[in-house]
């Protein structure tokens, strides 16, 4: 038995570890997450504490039959009715639509295949995307990563997985050519009606709608051979032979035949190590720093911060925003004659809807399309001609050009707002915002409203919003260098959220600037 002296309480799972092993955590017989006690836990006295993952914490208020099971052997290490929090009902880890949730290997909320009753839409999408790769780009795609592992080892999708993965090896060997090819593939798939989210210069996600209406991701990872090495987004850079990939073979997945690399053992060993045949739902990729730096330099220059906002706007999140922001209310009071409103970094889109409700044509821009998806779907049922949402990554030049075109068509005077954007983007993102504002705000009455963090207090304001402190002097200097004139600057403590006695309030700065 790998664990002894097990205790479960509001803090987490505490146990003595006799040997390291993958442990499944089940609530009322349903697996919620898996972990390695020593790798993922914290040494506490004579035992190891696995704290409750953050994505699970607020659901832990009630009663459940909690089981700990060694994944490899199925041995039950612990099974007991436990009470967590002060609730009386059964703990039910589901999303707002009642669909079962679980945690993935990174302890993020997800809809795993274990709880999916119908995978046929995903199988059909895999077939269509593979066919589209061949038809529109001459690309021979194949199953990759966890999808390949599931097909080869089990003939089915891994129950603990939550998306499907495809890969391909480009005929090009120069990164710039590989990037160009990836964008051509994306355009072809978008023209065929697929919704695409780009991860990097050589990887993107295709949205697949399942029978219950949930969205499942189908990731397409580009790769290429160069100097005897296989580079495959997003984890692999290893010595490799071309004939280990081509000619492609086949494997069965959920009753369907799909293409796979010629030598699946070579690719799976490169991905998961030589022990890939042993199931491990808590497996973590350990990408060598040299591989990470190389792939970042070639393909990921515009993905800064993506992981943070993927987590913040994960489909399992219940957060629909905090209502209209004080900054948006202030803007509306100061600009009663505005002709249009542009919110850069709009997040959930509450401020966009507020301005549209005042009769102002409003455009919301954000680089994470999940952020405004809730309201975007509602608009399909109840269209509002004053509301538009668009994906915009300030670090991607083509997005910057498209955002300029969207905003420039809006009626004037145009008011642009960026609330807590400057304090979450790198300097390149700020420079892109100045470029966007300088191109759009060219007429009298056009203005840019900014709000950003200048002091992180102990009130949780900064942490809750993933903010970094920014020096107002830096912003003022950059605005001047971009040709802007500052009309107003105001500094104030944040007192909207309750602050405990003795706590230090966070401080923000508001700036109003114009280019005309």
Q: Mind listing the pLDDT tens digit for each residue in 399-410?
A: 889 999 999 999
Q: Above 80 in pLDDT, residue 215?
A: no
pLDDT band at 85 (very low <50, low <70, confident <90, very high): very high
Which positions ≥6 away from 36 have C-beta within 8 Å? 20, 21, 22, 23, 282
The C-alpha atoms of residue 126 and residue 246 are separated, in whole angstroms, by 20
Query: Is there a contact between 364 and 372 (Cβ–Cβ < 8 Å)?
Result: yes
pLDDT band at 50 (very low <50, low <70, confident <90, very high): very high
Q: Comparing C-alpha atoms, which of 395, 400, 406, 394 is closest to residue 341?
A: 406
Compute the average pLDDT of residues 94-107: 86
What's residue 318's pLDDT?
44
The C-alpha atoms of residue 462 and residue 456 are separated, in whole angstroms, by 6
The C-alpha atoms of residue 420 and residue 511 are separated, in whole angstroms, by 12
Compute the average pLDDT of residues 56-83: 95
Express each pLDDT in 67-77 by its tens digit. Answer: 999 999 999 99
Class of 326-514 in CATH? alpha beta
Q: Above 70 in pLDDT, residue 447?
A: yes
The C-alpha atoms of residue 278 and residue 274 are separated, in whole angstroms, by 9
Q: Comparing C-alpha atoms, which of 141, 140, 136 is closest to residue 192?
A: 136
Judge if the upstream peptide bond of residue 247 is cis by omega within 30 degrees of 0: yes
Which positions ≥6 away from 321 have C-beta within 8 Å? 347, 348, 349, 350
The C-alpha atoms of residue 449 and residue 458 are separated, in whole angstroms, by 26
**Domain locations along the chain:** 3-110, 115-301, 326-514
What's residue 145's pLDDT?
94
Average pLDDT, the chain: 88
What's residue 282's pLDDT?
84
Query: Is there a contact between 400 and 432 (Cβ–Cβ < 8 Å)?
Result: yes
Cα 224 to Cα 230, 237, 303, distances in angstroms: 6, 10, 20
Compute the average pLDDT of residues 415-439: 92
Query: Is there a contact between 508 and 491 (Cβ–Cβ < 8 Å)?
Result: yes
Compute the average pLDDT of residues 61-84: 96
What's residue 468's pLDDT?
84
**Domains 115-301 and 326-514 agree in fold:** no
Q: Above 60 in pLDDT, residue 471?
A: yes
Q: Comparing C-alpha atoms, which of 415, 410, 406 is closest to residue 337?
A: 415
Sign of the C-alpha dihedral computed for residues 167, 172, 177 and 180 taken in this order = negative
Task: Tell me which of 56-60, 99-103, 289-293 is least confident.
Answer: 289-293
Compute the average pLDDT of residues 418-447: 92
Cα 27 to Cα 65, 106, 260, 338, distances in angstroms: 6, 19, 36, 53
What's residue 6's pLDDT?
95
Q: Above 70 in pLDDT, residue 154?
A: yes
Class of 115-301 in CATH? alpha beta
What count of other Cβ atoms lies within 10 Å of the Cβ of residue 23? 27
What's residue 285's pLDDT?
79
Cα 418 to Cα 146, 331, 424, 433, 511, distances in angstroms: 39, 11, 11, 9, 10
pLDDT band at 174 (very low <50, low <70, confident <90, very high): very high
Task: Tell me which of 219-223, 298-302, 400-404, 485-489 is least confident.
Answer: 298-302
Judge if the upstream peptide bond of residue 413 is cis by omega within 30 degrees of 0: yes
The listed range with the strongest mean pLDDT (133-147, 284-298, 455-469) is 133-147
According to DSSP, residue 90 is labeled B
Q: Comparing C-alpha atoms, which of 104, 123, 124 is closest to residue 112?
A: 104
What's residue 500's pLDDT?
58
Compute the average pLDDT of residues 51-62: 93
What's residue 10's pLDDT?
95
What's residue 496's pLDDT?
47
Strand bridging mode 62-70 / 76-84: antiparallel
Could you please report the per-residue DSSP string of 288-331?
-HHHHHHHHHHH-TT-TTHHHHHHHT-TT------SS-HHHHHH
Compute the average pLDDT of residues 297-309: 68
What's residue 516's pLDDT?
83
Strand bridging mode 142-143 / 109-110: unpaired
Express each pLDDT in 4-35 by its tens digit. Answer: 999 999 999 999 999 999 999 999 999 999 99
Express each pLDDT in 493-510 by its tens digit. Answer: 875 445 556 677 788 899
**What does the CA dihedral 70, 76, 82, 85 come to, rounded to 10 degrees?**
10
What count of other Cβ atoms lies within 10 Å of the Cβ of residue 258? 21
Q: Which residue has the higher pLDDT, 210 or 169?
A: 169
Task: Tell me which of 78-92, 114-128, 247-261 is least confident.
Answer: 114-128
**What does the CA dihedral 80, 85, 89, 94 come to, rounded to 10 degrees?**
-90
What's residue 21's pLDDT?
94
Compute the average pLDDT of residues 389-395: 87
Q: Above 80 in pLDDT, residue 465?
A: no
């Amino acid at each position: 038995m790998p664990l002894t002296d097990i205790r479960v309480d509001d803090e987490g799972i505490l146990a003595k570890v006799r040997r390291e092993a993958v442990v499944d955590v089940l609530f009322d017989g349903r697996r919620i997450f898996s972990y390695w006690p020593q790798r993922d836990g914290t040494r506490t006295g004579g035992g190891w504490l696995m704290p409750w993952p953050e994505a699970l914490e607020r659901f832990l208020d009630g009663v459940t039959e909690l089981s700990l099971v060694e994944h490899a052997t199925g041995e039950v290490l612990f099974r007991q009715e436990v009470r967590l929090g002060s609730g009386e009902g059964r703990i039910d880890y589901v999303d707002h639509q009642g669909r079962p949730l679980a945690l993935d290997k990174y302890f993020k909320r997800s809809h795993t295949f274990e709880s999916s009753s119908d995978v046929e839409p995903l199988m059909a999408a895999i077939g269509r995307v593979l066919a589209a790769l061949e038809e529109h780009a001459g690309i021979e795609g194949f199953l990759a990563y966890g999808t390949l592992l599931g097909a080869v080892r089990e003939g089915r999708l891994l129950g603990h997985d939550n998306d499907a993965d495809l890969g391909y090896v480009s005929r090009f060997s120069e990164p710039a050519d590989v990037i160009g090819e990836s964008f051509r593939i994306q355009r072809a798939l978008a023209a065929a009606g697929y919704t695409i989210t780009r991860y990097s210069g050589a990887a993107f996600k295709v949205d697949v709608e399942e029978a219950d209406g949930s969205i499942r991701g189908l990731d397409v990872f580009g790769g290429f051979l160069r100097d005897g090495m296989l580079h495959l987004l997003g984890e692999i850079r290893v010595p490799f032979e071309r004939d280990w990939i081509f000619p492609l073979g086949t494997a069965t997945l959920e009753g369907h035949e799909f293409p796979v690399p010629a030598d699946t053992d070579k690719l799976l060993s490169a991905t998961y190590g030589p022990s890939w045949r042993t199931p491990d739902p808590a497996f973590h990729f350990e990408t060598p720093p040299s591989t990470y730096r190389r792939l970042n330099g070639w393909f990921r220059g515009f993905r800064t911060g993506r992981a943070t906002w993927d987590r913040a706007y994960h489909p399992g999140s219940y957060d629909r925003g905090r209502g209209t922001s004080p900054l948006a209310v202030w803007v509306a009071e100061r600009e009663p004659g505005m002709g249009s409103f542009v919110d850069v970094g709009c997040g959930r889109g509450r401020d966009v809807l507020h301005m549209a409700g005042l009769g102002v044509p409003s455009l919301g821009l954000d680089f994470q399309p999940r952020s405004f998806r809730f309201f975007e779907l509602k608009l399909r049922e109840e269209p509002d001609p004053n509301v538009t949402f668009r994906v915009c990554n300030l670090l991607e030049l083509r997005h910057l050009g498209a955002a300029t075109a969207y905003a420039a068509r809006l009626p004037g005077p145009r008011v642009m707002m960026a609330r807590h954007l400057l304090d979450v983007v790198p300097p390149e993102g700020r420079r892109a915002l100045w470029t966007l504002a300088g191109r759009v705000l060219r007429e009298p009455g056009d203005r840019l409203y900014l709000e950003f963090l200048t002091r992180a207090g102990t009130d949780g304001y900064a942490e809750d919003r993933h903010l970094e402190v920014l020096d107002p002097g830096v912003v003022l200097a950059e605005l001047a260098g971009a040709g802007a004139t500052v009309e107003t600057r105001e500094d104030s403590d944040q007192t909207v959220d309750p602050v405990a006695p003795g706590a230090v309030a966070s401080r923000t700065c508001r700036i109003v600037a114009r280019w005309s």
